[in-house]
Copies of this chain bind each other. A is one copy, B any other.
Amino acid sequence: MIDAAGLRVMKAIADEGSFTAAAASLGYTQPAISQMVRRLEQRTGTVLVERIGRNVRLTEAGRVLARHATAVLAALDAAEEEVAAIAGLRSGRVRLMAFPSASATLVPRALALVKQRFPDVSISFTEAEPPESLAALKAGECDLAVAFAYEGTDLGRGEEDLDAFVITPLLDDEVRLAVPEGHAVAEQETVDLADLAGEPWIAGCPRCRGHLLQLTHDAGFRPDVAYETEDYVAVMGLVAEGLGVALIPDLILRTVHHEDVVALPITPASRRAIMAVTTPDLQRVPAVKATLDALAESARGQSRAPTVRAPEPAFSI
């Protein structure tokens, strides 16, 4: 019934003392004010203005509206400013999720970039494997997820509705074979997995294990999985002690070193794609977009070879 525009007009009249002055102060013409007051009066069923001679004075009801106008307009301005702050990256909160090995450098560097560029944007970060992070994204508990997919597989458990997501490839991560120093294949330029059919294997996370099974199956054997652990430091230790061999993504090798372990390219080459995932709506939120850009930039610095490519994902996902 009564709206902010009406209150603004009443306040202007109260402040300026005449319709004409009020119109000027609001950037309107005088008849606009005249009609606005008339409309307000017939809506409220009340006289709001006394016309005395050639100037006007507010009635009690008019003063009531003018008085409330201050509070209402201030609250409106506050809301507007707060939204503008979010739009202008002077505020905003991003809930980021990434799988553990992305947390090592890719994510920290992106966080630092955002912090440097938009100090008032805050990012909360949670570690989660792709299936969980995508579920969180879907559930609205997360704005941006960093996930990965091995070549030939998809992001989630295989039944995700990927259409609802926007996927930005960040980098390609080559999968290498980790063997102990002095292993029979340690001096080769590259290794054919079929040569390792008899070796004990060390498997990583469930999805990595799946990938291992896929690759060995393609190579014609079933691996003897001697150990399973999600901790790559442990994997390296096990390999170093000669307890088995393992497939390890290159990205991890950059942070988890071990003197007695050699990482070799494999044949045929296998990669995993690391990508940022969000929704079309969230991607348009400035703080999310800024974080996404920072991730892409961070990834550009991470890749050994400049593997940044077209916006389309490299794999069928």
**Partner-B contacts on A (CB < 8 A):** 1-5, 7, 44-47, 49-53, 57, 59-61, 64-65, 68-69, 71-72, 75-76, 78-80, 82-84, 86-87, 92-93, 138, 140, 164, 279, 281-282, 284-287
Contacts and interface: CB of A to CB of B under 8 A. Distances in A.
Nearest 10 CB-CB pairings of A with B: A68-B79, A50-B281, A46-B87, A72-B75, A61-B86, A57-B140, A71-B75, A47-B284, A64-B82, A61-B83
The binding surface of chain A is classed by DSSP as helix
A52 B138 contact: yes
A3 B71 CA distance: 14
A140 to B, nearest CB: 5
A214 to B, nearest CB: 31
Copy tally for this chain in the complex stands at 2
Given A75-B75, A79-B7, A87-B61, A49 B281 contact: yes
A172 B164 CA distance: 86
A78 to B, nearest CB: 6
A144 to B, nearest CB: 13
A3 B209 CA distance: 56
Contacts of A61: 83, 86-87, 285
A271 B167 CA distance: 95
Contact of A86 (B60, B72, B83, B86): B60
Contacts of A60: 86, 92-93, 285, 287
A203 to B, nearest CB: 35
Given A5-B3, A45-B87, A51-B281, A82 B68 contact: yes
Contacts of A1: 80
A44 B76 contact: no
15 contacts: A3-B3, A7-B79, A44-B84, A45-B87, A46-B86, A46-B286, A50-B140, A50-B282, A52-B140, A52-B279, A57-B140, A60-B86, A65-B83, A72-B76, A72-B79
A163 to B, nearest CB: 11
Given A2-B83, A4-B4, A68-B75, 11 more contacts: A2-B76, A2-B79, A3-B5, A3-B76, A46-B86, A46-B87, A50-B140, A51-B281, A61-B285, A65-B79, A65-B83
